[in-house]
Amino acid sequence: MTHCSNHGAPVLALVAGLTLATPALADPGSRLWATGGVTTIEGSAGGGLVPWALLAGYASDQEWGGTVTLSRAEVDDFTLNVTGAALNWHNRVEVSIARQTLDLDTLGATLGEDELSQDIFGIKARLFGDVLYSDYGQWSLGLQHKRQRDFDIPEAIGADDDQGTDVYLSGSKLFFAAVADRNLLVNATVRGTRANQGGLLGFGGDRNDSYKAMLETSVGLFLNRSWIAGAEYRHKPDNLGFATEDDWWDAFVAWVPDRRVSVTAAWTDLGDIAGLEDQRGLYLSLQGSF
Amino acid sequence: MTTLLRVSVLISVMALVAGCATPGPSEDSLYQDLGKRAGIAEMVEDLMYRIVEDDRIAFQFKDIDVVQFHTNLTDQLCELSGGPCTYTGRPMTDVHDGMNVTETQFNALAEQLVLAMEDNGISTSAQNRLLERLVELHPQITHR
Ligand code: HEM
């Protein structure tokens, strides 16, 4: 499986199946529309780049559920494809899996390698609180264990390890009727990480090899219950001497016509990656819930 | 000046008639946006039909006094939205005591309420403002 299109096809079929599903299929769960967020590029529930304290899908305290997601970001010199799936048990624990494939559109020929790839195994537990109903919001603790599938390039540019584990604490709260009587979702995440470019360029490096605490924030405004517009900012470490690493940000619009499906589009700025400057472009994500 | 005076007198009189302390024009705008007591009563009726159809929560409401529930919930939402009503039902904690209302059930009811508001043409803005006040009651209703 070298390209997303290969392993993406069954996921796409599944998403389409869920979208067209008849009432025969159980409802995705009882939490209110869009309160499962969407799926990040690392497979955890959140925005596009930043994990939130919300757990995937719509399972409430007596239910289980999950999501499948297909995402793609096309920036100037790279294309990132992500396929992911997550399960949610009783709105208490989320487990997720994601495969990221970064096509080296420009660098490929020079490096003699046309992609970088990693798998991400995630777990997130809701510690306490509810995003809608608690004054102090909802708080969750998560882990993302990342494993490189081909370490040659990251190793060549100075990365230390081919696997790493991020740990993060997230808080999310919805403020009802906060802006022009619209509901505002606010998220803050602190992540401990050694990952270079999220792990696609390995873990640790010649410039820094230890865990760094990074702040990641996002806000989303519910225009109504099916349209959310917002922005995210993700601080990143800078571990490799070979090329500087920039913070990431995006501005997104998500459409959640129904609990079964969501579509997210974003303008994303990934900064400099592997010496190629100003990597910007469009991000698109399709999620199905069950 | 005279207009202002007239308006303020009118408001005071209305407040007196309504038997409320001081619901200024902005404090009862939610009440207006919900269609006053008649609009709220209609929405609550729709909500009740929806509850009966919803397997997640219908069983909880099996043996209730339908008329009393309708009157009390309508008065409660009317008062909560700044309208000239007085809730005469029992305290929220007492009413829901022993029901062990779960998060799933609370969410289900919130969903049906939103859909009932939508069906009654209540604006997103008014929906959000009512929900803002209702979520305050969550700890008095769930897990009792
Ligand atoms: C924001 C959410 C809720 C509000 C504002 C609310 C409000 C009320 C009100 C005003 C009454 C009438 C009290 C009286 O007649 O003295 C009532 C009764 C009742 N509520 Fe709730 N409630 C909520 C959520 C729920 C939920 C989630 C359930 C269960 C699924 C539930 C089950 C009941 C039942 C069964 C009664 C009838 C009790 C009786 O007459 O003995 N309520 N509620």
Which residue has tokens 């929900």?
B131
Q: Scanning every residue of chain B, which has its alpha carbon at the shortest distance from the alpha carbon of A31?
A: B107
CB A270 within 8 A of CB A283: no
How much is the pLDDT for B14? 40
Average pLDDT over residues A199-213: 96
Q: Is B113 helix (H, G, I), strand (E, B) or coil?
A: helix
Alpha carbon distance B114, A153 (integer Å) = 52
> How many CB pairs (< 8 A) connect A and B?
53
Alpha carbon distance B75, B83 (integer Å) = 9
In chain A, DSSP finds a helix count (H) and a strand count (E) of: 3, 14
**Neighbouring residues of A198: CB distance < 8 A, sequence distance ≥ 6:** A41, A42, A100, A146, A236
Q: Scanning every residue of chain B, which has its alpha carbon at the shortest distance from the alpha carbon of A131?
A: B135
DSSP assigned state of A56 = S
Judge whether B24 lies within some domain.
Answer: no
Q: Which residue has the higher pLDDT, A168 or A26?
A: A168
Cα distances (angstroms) measured from residue A133 to each of A9, A29, A49, A82, B5: 39, 17, 25, 32, 42
Number of domains present in the structure of chain B: 1
Q: Scanning every residue of chain B, which has its alpha carbon at the shortest distance from the alpha carbon of A90?
A: B104
Average pLDDT over residues B113-135: 98
Phi first, then psi, for residue B37 (nearest 5°) are -65, -35
Residues with CB under 6 A from ligand 1: B 57, 60-61, 64-65, 68-69, 72-73, 76, 89-90, 95-96, 99, 101, 105-106, 109, 134, 137, 141
Cα distances (angstroms) measured from residue A245 to each of A112, A189, A196, A203: 22, 20, 8, 13
Task: Mark out chain B residues that contact chain A at CB-CB < 8 A.
Answer: 56, 102-104, 106-108, 110-111, 114, 124-126, 128-129, 131-132, 135, 138-139
How much is the pLDDT for B1? 36
How much is the pLDDT for A74? 97
Judge whether B113 lies within some domain.
Answer: yes
For residue B107, the enclosing domain spans 29-141
Average pLDDT over residues A143-157: 95
pLDDT band for B130, please (50, 70, 90 cuts).
Answer: very high
Q: Which residue has the higher pLDDT, A179 or A111?
A: A179
Nearest to B110 by CA among B141, B85, B74, B82: B141
| Residue A133 C-alpha, separation from nearest chain B C-alpha, in angstroms | 6
How much is the pLDDT for A111? 79
How much is the pLDDT for A1? 35
How much is the pLDDT for B24? 46
For residue A207, the enclosing domain spans 5-289
Helices (H), A36-157: 108-111, 152-156
Judge whether B9 lies within some domain.
Answer: no
Which residue has tokens 């109504």?
A224
Phi first, then psi, for residue B104 (nearest 5°) are -55, -45
**Is the pLDDT at B21 greater than 60, yes or no?**
no
Task: Mark out chain A residues that contact chain B at CB-CB < 8 A.
Answer: 30-32, 60-63, 91, 130, 132-133, 176-177, 180-183, 224-225
CB B30 within 8 A of CB B130: yes
How much is the pLDDT for A106? 85
Number of domains present in the structure of chain A: 1
How much is the pLDDT for B26? 63
Residue A32 class from Cβ within 10 Å (0-12 exposed, 13-18 middle, 19+ buried)?
buried
CB contact under 8 A, A181 and B128: yes
| Residue B111 C-alpha, separation from nearest chain A C-alpha, in angstroms | 6
Nearest to A51 by CA among A232, A259, A281, A267: A232
CB A43 within 8 A of CB A97: yes
Alpha carbon distance B39, B77 (integer Å) = 11
Q: Which helix (H) or strand (E) holds A163?
A: strand A163-179
CATH at A273: 2.40.160.40
- How confident is the model over B33-92, as pLDDT tens digits? 999 999 999 999 999 999 999 999 999 999 999 999 999 999 999 999 999 999 999 999
Write out chain A residues lying below 8 Å of B135, CB-based.
Answer: 132-133, 176
Judge whether B127 lies within some domain.
Answer: yes
When the pLDDT of each residue in chain A is averaged and rounded to a whole number, the result is 92
Which of B56, B106, B135 lies at the smallest CB-CB distance from A176?
B135
CB contact under 8 A, A32 and B128: no
Provide the pairing of β-strand A45-46 with A38-39: antiparallel
Q: Scanning every residue of chain B, which has its alpha carbon at the shortest distance from the alpha carbon of A259?
A: B111
Here the ipTM equals: 0.89
pLDDT band for A107, please (50, 70, 90 cuts).
Answer: confident
How much is the pLDDT for A41? 98
CB contact under 8 A, A91 and B56: no
Judge whether B7 lies within some domain.
Answer: no
Helices (H), chain B: 2-18, 29-33, 36-53, 66-80, 92-95, 103-119, 124-134, 138-141
DSSP assignment string, A201-266: T-B--SS--S-EEEEEEEEEEESSSSEEEEEEEE------SSS----EEEEEEEEEEETTEEEEEE
Q: How far is the CA of B95 from the centre of ligand 1 (A)?
A: 6
CATH at B57: 1.10.490.10
Nearest-CA residue for atom 13 of ligand 1: B89
Which residue has tokens 């029901």?
B99
How much is the pLDDT for A109? 77
Rg (chain A; Cα; Å): 18
